[in-house]
Chain A
Amino acid sequence: MKEFLTYVITGITLGASFALVGSGFVVVHRVTRVVNFAQGSFAVLAAMLAAWLLGGVLPHGAAEVGAVLICGLVGVAVGVIALGRRGTPPLISLIVTLGVSMLAAAAIILFWGQDPVSPPGLSGHLALLGVQVDRQRLLVLVATLLAFAVLGLFFSRTYLGKALTASASNPYAARLVGIDVRRMGLLAFALAGVLGGLAGVLVAPSNALSFSSDLPLALSGFAAAVFGGLSSPGRTLVGGLVLGVAGQLTAGYLDGSYQTEVALLLMVVIMIARSRTFVAEEAK
Chain B
Amino acid sequence: MNSPKPSTVIVPVVSVAACIAPLLMSDLTFFVHTVLAAIVVTGLSLLMGYAGQASLGQGAFVAVGALTVGLGTTHAGLPPLLLLLVAPLAAALFAAVVGLPLLRLQGHYLAFGTLALLLLVQTAMSSVGALGGAYGISGIPAFGVGGWKVTGQLPYAYLALACLAVVLLLSRRVVNSRFGRGVRALSGSETAAESAGVAVGRDKVAMFALSAAFAGIAGAVTAFFTPYVSADSFPPLDSFTYVIMAVVGGLGTIWGGVVGAVLVSVLLQVLNTVGSQPGLPPTASSIIQYAAYGIVLILALLFLPRGVVPSLGSLPRRSALR
Decide yes or no whether A129 CB sits under 8 A from chain B: no
Please report the C-alpha to C-alpha distance between residue A159 and residue B54 in the assembled complex, in whole angstroms: 37
Chain A: interface secondary structure? helix
Q: How far is the CA of A258 from the CA of B128 in the complex (A)?
A: 12
Closest chain-A Cβ to B320's Cβ sits at a distance in Å of: 27
Select which of B243, B287, B288 is within 8 A of A98 by beta carbon.
B243
Interface mask (B165-206 → A, CB under 8 Å = 1, otherwise 0): 000000000000000000000000000000000000000000
Q: Please tell me the size bucket of the interface on B.
A: 35 or more
Q: Which residue of B lies closest to A87 (CB)?
A: B305
Tell me if A271 counts as interface (CB < 8 A to partner B). Answer: yes
Within A76-91, the residues touching B (CB, 8 Å) are 81, 84-85, 88, 90-91
Tell me if A208 is interfacial: C-beta within 8 Å of chain B.
Answer: no
B175 to chain A, nearest CB (A): 21
- Could you tell me if A94 and B111 are in contact, using CB atoms closer than 8 angstroms? yes
- Minimal beta-carbon separation of B239 from chain A (angstroms): 11
Q: Is A113 an interface residue (CB 8 A)?
A: yes
Binary contact track A88-102/B, C-beta < 8 Å → 1, others 0: 101110111011111
Which residues in B have their C-beta under 8 angstroms from that of A103?
290-291, 294-295, 298
Q: For A241, list chain B residues within 8 Å (CB).
A: none
Other-chain contact of A84, B112, B289, B301 (Cβ < 8 Å):
B301
How close is A239's CB to chain B, nearest CB, in angstroms? Answer: 14
Distance, CA A21 to CA B126, complexed state (A):
28
Q: How far is the CA of A88 from the CA of B304 in the complex (A)?
A: 12
User: Is A106 on the interface with B (CB-CB < 8 A)?
Assistant: yes
Please determine whether B297 and A102 come into contact, CB atoms closer than 8 angstroms: yes
B residues within 8 A CB of A54? Answer: none
Q: Which 7 pairs across A and B sit closest by C-beta, in order of nearness?
A: A99-B297, A103-B294, A106-B290, A102-B294, A106-B291, A35-B108, A264-B116
Which residues does B use to contact A, with CB under 8 Å?
54, 56, 101-102, 104-109, 111-113, 115-117, 119-120, 123, 127, 236, 240, 243-244, 247, 283, 286-291, 293-298, 301-302, 305
Further 9 A-B residue pairs, CB within 8 A, beyond A96-B298, A272-B102: A81-B298, A85-B302, A88-B301, A94-B108, A103-B291, A219-B116, A268-B102, A271-B109, A275-B109
